[in-house]
Chain A
């Protein structure tokens, strides 16, 4: 089966930044994403335990390459200075390219 090349943007961030991330996606007309709660260790220490507001989430978004750099630029500009956030991009293949 033919697979089409698209990009997977993965954002691991504190739960309170999730809304900002999704708002940015929405501004770029991206409505589809998957998110789940995660925990882990990093620069800010062990996260994901204790109070609800200090949990981490992982947001996964599949998008076409054209939108990618604008989205990443928005996220880096507005969220990197103040929030616990890591993002990375990977190449993935999808069957139905019209969905993205």
Chain B
């Protein structure tokens, strides 16, 4: 199928339609909203379902298979975060705090985006490797930890140079800066590992692994059949929030807007190609790409507001939620699916010819 055709048919799926509907509802200032308890419950439900599926699949395949893709994913996530920082700092002229906050937001993963991806694949009749759920869990804190570490290093370096100009004055301040860095990092690490997203995800993976296919049977009506429906309800909420933020997008600026579209595209396609080279299936490669393309907007504010409070939260929330999320689920998913189909299909052998044909 042609990319445009695929985007078109993706646009007409209930997930996307309800998302767009939510945006419209917010634009006409309707008082429509999903009750708070439900919108807090749904991410937990989605993560539980993702985890259970992952666990069941991992029971079939074992752990060895997942090790290399997981390490590669962590490596790429760190690399992308550094790359984002350089682009934002040098080309975008953002201050150091905003640069690191944005870099890690885009280096981190989005669980909601991941759920939409799974349901997109289901729609296409394609499956993906279950261990990707475990990679989702592991990737969640990685980019943040790196960004926080680097921010604190930069800050304490600044303090040190300032102190040196006062020569020998109050050395204890430097130690204080270093100490703060350490406590901040261990706090973030502890908070993200014991945070609800990772706990429910890892817990469900373990439970899925223990119960296996037969154990899943009695609860499959809740965690399998209802999955896409639950995403649809959550999409109304996401649409409303994104719709309320449309004005803020103007404040985000042209540079960040293009960054929020171009970077996920590049990261995602690199992800698809790398994971294909690692031997992931067609669907698995799409999900792997999506992990690297997605930006975090539920976990990011909670982590970054504490760790890098100097950064402006409306920048990273608006760009991740208002620009990247819709772009990822509407446009980039079909693009990555098509790319993955190319490299997995018969044309895979001709990929290099194809590339040279296009560029020459």
What is A's interface to B at a CB cutoff of 8 Å? 14, 16-17, 19-20, 49-54, 81-83
Q: Contact between B40 and A52 (Cβ–Cβ < 8 Å)?
A: yes
Chain A contacts for B245, CB-based, 8 A: 50
Q: What number of residue pairs across chains A and B have CB atoms under 8 A from each other?
A: 35
Q: What are 27 inter-chain pairs, A to B, with CB distance below 8 A?
A: A16-B301, A16-B302, A16-B306, A17-B305, A19-B306, A20-B306, A50-B241, A50-B244, A50-B245, A51-B241, A51-B297, A51-B298, A51-B301, A51-B317, A51-B321, A52-B40, A52-B298, A53-B298, A53-B301, A53-B305, A53-B313, A54-B301, A54-B313, A81-B310, A82-B310, A83-B305, A83-B309
Chain A contacts for B309, CB-based, 8 A: 82-83
Chain A contacts for B298, CB-based, 8 A: 51-53
State how many angstroms separate the Cβ of A41 from the closest Cβ of chain B.
14
Chain A contacts for B241, CB-based, 8 A: 50-51
B 212-250 to A, binary, CB cutoff 8 A, 1 in contact else 0 = 000000000000000000000000000011001100000
Which B residue's beta carbon lies closest to that of A20?
B306
B 66-88 to A, binary, CB cutoff 8 A, 1 in contact else 0 = 00000000000000000000000
Q: Give the complex CA separation of A41 and B49 in angstroms.
A: 38
Cβ-closest 9 pairs across A and B = A53-B301, A82-B309, A16-B305, A50-B241, A53-B302, A82-B310, A51-B241, A50-B244, A83-B309
Q: Give the complex CA separation of A65 and B345 in angstroms.
A: 75
Interface size on B, residues (CB 8 A): 16
Q: Give the complex CA separation of A83 and B312 in angstroms.
A: 9
Q: Give the complex CA separation of A51 and B241 in angstroms.
A: 7
What is B's interface to A at a CB cutoff of 8 Å? 40, 240-241, 244-245, 297-298, 301-302, 305-306, 309-310, 313, 317, 321
Q: Give the complex CA separation of A41 and B40 in angstroms.
A: 23
Which B residue's beta carbon lies closest to that of A51?
B241
Chain B contacts for A16, CB-based, 8 A: 301-302, 305-306
State how many angstroms separate the Cβ of B95 from the closest Cβ of chain A.
13
Most chain B beta-carbon contacts within 10 A, residue among A16, A19, A53, A83: A53
Chain A contacts for B305, CB-based, 8 A: 14, 16-17, 53, 83
Which A residue's beta carbon lies closest to that of B191?
A19
Chain A contacts for B313, CB-based, 8 A: 53-54
Q: Give the complex CA separation of A51 and B309 in angstroms.
A: 18
State how many angstroms separate the Cβ of B82 from the closest Cβ of chain A.
24
State how many angstroms separate the Cβ of B83 from the closest Cβ of chain A.
26
Most chain B beta-carbon contacts within 10 A, residue among A51, A52, A81: A51
State how many angstroms separate the Cβ of A21 from the closest Cβ of chain B.
12
Q: Give the complex CA separation of A83 and B317 in angstroms.
A: 15
Which A residue's beta carbon lies closest to that of B40?
A52
Chain A contacts for B40, CB-based, 8 A: 52
State how many angstroms separate the Cβ of A2 from the closest Cβ of chain B.
43
Chain A contacts for B297, CB-based, 8 A: 51
Q: Give the complex CA separation of A17 and B305 in angstroms.
A: 8
Which B residue's beta carbon lies closest to that of A14?
B305
Q: Give the complex CA separation of A50 and B242 in angstroms.
A: 9
Chain A contacts for B302, CB-based, 8 A: 16, 53
State how many angstroms separate the Cβ of B167 from the closest Cβ of chain A.
26
Chain A contacts for B301, CB-based, 8 A: 16, 51, 53-54
State how many angstroms separate the Cβ of A72 from the closest Cβ of chain B.
19
Q: Give the complex CA separation of A54 and B301 in angstroms.
A: 8
Q: Give the complex CA separation of A53 and B318 in angstroms.
A: 13
Q: Contact between A49 and B244 (Cβ–Cβ < 8 Å)?
A: yes
Chain B contacts for A83, CB-based, 8 A: 305, 309
State how many angstroms separate the Cβ of B187 from the closest Cβ of chain A.
10
Q: Give the complex CA separation of A83 and B311 in angstroms.
A: 10
Most chain A beta-carbon contacts within 10 A, residue among B241, B244, B313, B321: B313
